[in-house]
Structure 1
Amino acid sequence: MNRSTEALAHAERRSHLMAAMREDGVGPAPPIALAKRTSNLFRDRQAGPRRLIDLGDFNHVIGIDTACSMVEVEGMATYEALVAATLRHGMMPAVVPQLKTITVGGAVAGVGIEATSMRQGLVHHSVLELDVLLPDGRIVHCTPDNAHRDLFFGFPNSYGSLGYALRLVLRTLPVQPYVRVEHIAYEHPEEFFAALAEACEGDADFVDGVVFGPRSMVLNIARFENTAPWLSNYEFERIYYRSLLEMPVDYLSVHDYLWRWDTDWFWCSRNFGAQNPLVRRLFGREHLNSRTYTRLMRLNARWGVTRRLAACHGLHTESVIQDVDVPIRSAPAFLDFLQREIGILPIWICPLHVPDPGACFALYPLDAGTLHVNFGFWDVVERREAHEAGHFNRLVEQEVLRLGGIKSLYSDSFFTREEFDSAYGMGTYTMLKRRYDPEGRAPHLYDKCVLKH
């Protein structure tokens, strides 16, 4: 990779973009939106006029600095491409979200987490600098200590309402060729979460876990290795999450470990029959991935197949697709609530710690002195009795707020404006909006994430 050549090509793409923005004009209406071929958002938007901005060409890795442990990348590059580029240099991004199609800019404008987060924080905690395309067509360079430091710390969790990331510089970590994973089973939540916290204090490179049932929890502790006595592969016939209950110790290549969840979209491939051996072969290796399942999910949402089948059986359904972060002290109580009121299983568990106490990201505030636990649960709740729209999602939101936690905004939200303002730093957001989008050319964060405008 020639960094100079890639940097020149990036500068040329920026010039073309700015010329196109000036030629088209960006008025206060219709609101701007990002033209994307794929999306990892799980909330629909109301139909309406949009001025689509196509940043699809900004999908390159510009340069990798092994001496300084950082990578320069464009915002629309997928993590699949970024990981492939960095692994060739014996490095990986400090935090690699679970799905290959997630873009780097999307993971920063939203919230990205993975099994290194117990030490590295969320994706945005690994950002060193970024260039943001503002809603009026200007491009500003943001670092933690320059004139646009307010946008640097305000951009994460803004979901395009303050602009789009064109270029980012991220921290990287050195890797070894293999990963050894130890799977430790627990029956009691208190013991499970105590062991999780202890593992975060140790020398592990990765920590996560899965709750399979009220008395079935597995803690996964992984470390890099230079050698491996064998290698497991979960890209086709074998299913990764099932191995957690079957194999006390496992070995994967670092590539396969980073993408261990993508083949079956954690475990959600079961909703499409893709865990049946025959159906799995019909899918084929090339279609067993999050990209395929996302397309199928959107087709199902459009045609309402699952909803209609449930109605034929007298069931009312609600999609509950959520990731929430709660303090470790509240984790057993939240797990009890989930199993009692929601009933979705399995549940992904991922510890999270803010690495820099001085880094205050205003729109996703987390106490730097507290270990948090991410709960990921994604399925449809079915009940015989009817409830108002969003009933179960609303229960989740209320419990998260009660326990002092925070919820990701990539899926359906039902917060009141007052709840939202308090939880997501809307005082700071208002000042950012006045400075960087004074004409309101991009939707307000609440309007976009809750009202779906």
Structure 2
Amino acid sequence: MDRKMDVVQFLEFVKKGLDIRALHQISNYIQKVFVIFLLIPSFIWDTVLYLILVHKFYFRKTSDNHEERVAKIQEQVRRWRVEGKGRKMCTARPSWKSVSPQSIGYKNSMYRIEVDLDRVLSIDRVNHVVHVEPSVCIGYLNKFLIREGYTLPIVPELDNLTIGGLVMGGGIETTSHKYGLVHHTALEYEMVTADGEVIICDAENNNADVFFTVPFSYGTLGLLTAVKLKIIPYKPYIKITYRPTYTTHEAMEVMVQESMKGTGNDSVEGIMYNINEAVIMTGEFVEENQVELSKVNNLGRWYKPWFYHHVKTFLEKGKTVEYVPTLHFHQRHNKPCFWLTKLWAPWASHPLARFLLGWAFPFNYQLLKWVKELIMGNENLADVFITQDFIIPLQKLKGGVELSAELTDIWPIWMVPAKLHYDERFGETYGMKPRSGNIMYVDLGVYGVAENKNFQGHEATLRAFEKWTMDNGGYQALYAETYMSKEEYTKMFTPENYEAVRDRLPLCKEGFPHVYQKICRKGRNKGIID
């Protein structure tokens, strides 16, 4: 063997001599033993990115302005018309920065546009609006806003989710029963179209058809360059009521009751630990003078147990009320990545590990994915691993839980209600259309390794989920894997207005792929863009 062979070449050499099962075992070994060496880099990475965001807002240079950065994007788009050679456009953001568990193979065959858009542009304190560029990450933006006395109505927990990804791909949280999805809080989009022009989109005066079509478009209408979002005053605590339930019927009954309350609940969330036992949580944001100090739980401190472990204790304790600092609440699932960190580091939940290393969590998902792609490439090694969200009518939740138990036996599972807003002008609800009069849906999050002894495999299982979801008037999240055909995708999302907008926008079909080509398994894994 050539002594000059680098690490990547060596791993490629080894990989060719191993079968897929042995490679899977090596992958698990790397994750569970060597993943510890990503803790400090993760901590440094996240700290530096937040400090950079703050610095760019408070110490911006006069030469560093949004218009100049957008102009550079326009120049690249215009060059595409000369240099593109029939290729479609996408951003040059690397695959390992994507939240999708798959490698984004289609980027390899496309004309990539460099996008440097990660600033907070302004805060309008009169109208409660923040103006941001799309590459700003939700966790950093929320921490930044809290410094200013505000927060976002909807704060998905995982810090690395970008604003652009959340408005164009869907973002949900426990306040979604009040506010809908993240894009429902958007007031305006700025976009560079395929002819190199900048357009403004809003609900009333400018390109309203585009505004209502941006959600779930995944960058296939243009290159998003800025977003205006609603913000709300920050309250420092949330009063959480934990309600344990002991049958599936009881859990569903409490979920429906608390989700449909007209007032009183700012947050609604459920964690189901097995087919019978669940804890349903409701929360109300409060001021400091409303807090009962004896019931405060600073659950975000580094030595505290993972949130889902803490919640499980209420199955024995019974109904309980706690007051939690709001930022701790926003990031309660961030450090354990819901319950997936145990797959990478099963030792991390031990009290000693929490005390010694808890401060260094969470693992930065992007770094983890980068290591995986560097070593393993695009191969799907974990046939038993499922990560998907199914957004189904609230009344169908019991059936969804029972189906998940039958197909995967993955526990816990996450349950979050979401209100979908219907707009009569376009016949759609910002990318989703309520069916059969339902406007309250629920996100069923199935994340983990299938424990079912009769597990039918990754494809068969997700196909069964997809069919059930479609038959019951639901949707599946498009960030994760889908085996749907284009016809099935069209049936699920009924994108008539999407097609009309692509017809209207100049060069859109020539410049950008159809959204199905970006979300389908074939396009993501193999980079095939028809």
Whether TM exceeds 0.5 here: the answer is: yes
Offset at 1:97?
1.4
RMSD of the TM alignment (CA)? 2.9
Q: Which has the larger radius of gyration?
A: 2
For residues 231-263 of structure 1, give each alpha carbon's deviation from its aligned partner in whole angstroms, at most 9, with x where no partner exists.
323352321111112253332211111111111
Q: 134-143 or 333-342: which moved more?
A: 134-143
For residues 69-115 of structure 1, give each alpha carbon's deviation from its aligned partner in whole angstroms, at most 9, with x where no partner exists.
22111111111222122212322112111211111111011000001
Amino acid at match of 2:90: A
Offset at 1:387?
5.0
Ranges in structure 2 where 5+ consecutive residues have no aligned partner: 1-56, 315-319
Note if 1:351 corresponds to 2:417: yes
Between Structure 1 and Structure 2, the one with more strand by share is 1
Q: Measured at CA, do residues 135 and 283 of structure 1 come closer, stay the same or move farther in structure 2, by a change above 3 Å?
A: farther
Q: 370-379 or 234-243: which moved more?
A: 234-243
Amino acid at match of 2:284: R
Q: Measured at CA, do residues 136 and 382 of structure 1 come closer, stay the same or move farther in structure 2, by a change above 3 Å?
A: farther
Percent of aligned positions with the same letter in both sequences? 23
Note if 1:442 corresponds to 2:512: yes
Offset at 1:439?
4.2
- The 8 Å contact of residues 383 and 457 in structure 2, kept in 1 or not, is answered as no
Q: Give the Cα–Cα distance (whole angstroms) in 2 for the partners of residues 382 and 6 of structure 1.
A: 57
- The 8 Å contact of residues 231 and 251 in structure 1, kept in 2 or not, is answered as yes
- The 8 Å contact of residues 251 and 280 in structure 2, kept in 1 or not, is answered as yes
Offset at 1:331?
0.7
Partner of 1:313: none
Q: 203-212 or 242-251: which moved more?
A: 242-251
Q: Measured at CA, do residues 403 and 369 of structure 1 come closer, stay the same or move farther in structure 2, by a change above 3 Å?
A: closer
Partner of 1:289: 362
Partner of 2:213: 154
Note if 1:342 corresponds to 2:408: yes
- The 8 Å contact of residues 275 and 405 in structure 2, kept in 1 or not, is answered as yes
Q: Measured at CA, do residues 366 and 138 of structure 1 come closer, stay the same or move farther in structure 2, by a change above 3 Å?
A: farther
Note if 1:268 corresponds to 2:365: no
- The 8 Å contact of residues 393 and 438 in structure 2, kept in 1 or not, is answered as no
Q: Give the Cα–Cα distance (whole angstroms) in 1 for the partners of residues 474 and 62 of structure 2.
A: 41
Q: Which residue of 446, 450, 455 maps to 1:377?
A: 446
Note if 1:64 corresponds to 2:120: no
Ranges in structure 1 where 5+ consecutive residues have no aligned partner: 311-315
Q: Measured at CA, do residues 362 and 36 of structure 1 come closer, stay the same or move farther in structure 2, by a change above 3 Å?
A: same
Partner of 1:50: 110
Partner of 2:390: 324
Offset at 1:379?
1.7
Partner of 1:366: 434
Structure 1 residue ranges, 4+ long, deviating more than 4 angstroms after superposition: 1-8, 23-26, 277-284, 300-305, 355-359, 382-389
Q: 110-119 or 239-248: which moved more?
A: 239-248
- The 8 Å contact of residues 236 and 263 in structure 1, kept in 2 or not, is answered as no
- The 8 Å contact of residues 154 and 363 in structure 1, kept in 2 or not, is answered as yes
> What is the 5 A alignment of 1:388-427?
390-427=459-496
Say how many residue pairs are matched. 443
For residues 154-182 of structure 1, give each alpha carbon's deviation from its aligned partner in whole angstroms, at most 9, with x where no partner exists.
11001112223211111112221111211
Offset at 1:135?
3.5
Between Structure 1 and Structure 2, the one with more helix by share is 2
Q: Give the Cα–Cα distance (whole angstroms) in 2 for the partners of residues 362 and 176 of structure 1.
A: 29
Note if 1:139 corresponds to 2:206: no
Q: Give the Cα–Cα distance (whole angstroms) in 2 for the partners of residues 218 and 299 of structure 1.
A: 35
Q: Give the Cα–Cα distance (whole angstroms) in 2 for the partners of residues 290 and 163 of structure 1.
A: 32
Amino acid at match of 1:243: H
Q: Measured at CA, do residues 271 and 386 of structure 1 come closer, stay the same or move farther in structure 2, by a change above 3 Å?
A: closer
Q: Give the Cα–Cα distance (whole angstroms) in 1 for the partners of residues 250 and 475 of structure 2.
A: 24
Q: Give the Cα–Cα distance (whole angstroms) in 1 for the partners of residues 329 and 245 of structure 2.
A: 23
Amino acid at match of 2:504: R
TM-score w.r.t. the length of structure 1 is 0.89
TM-score w.r.t. the length of structure 2 is 0.77
Partner of 1:77: 136
Amino acid at match of 2:111: R
Partner of 2:312: 245
Q: Which residue of 259, 265, 279 maps to 1:218?
A: 279
Amino acid at match of 1:366: P
Amino acid at match of 1:218: V
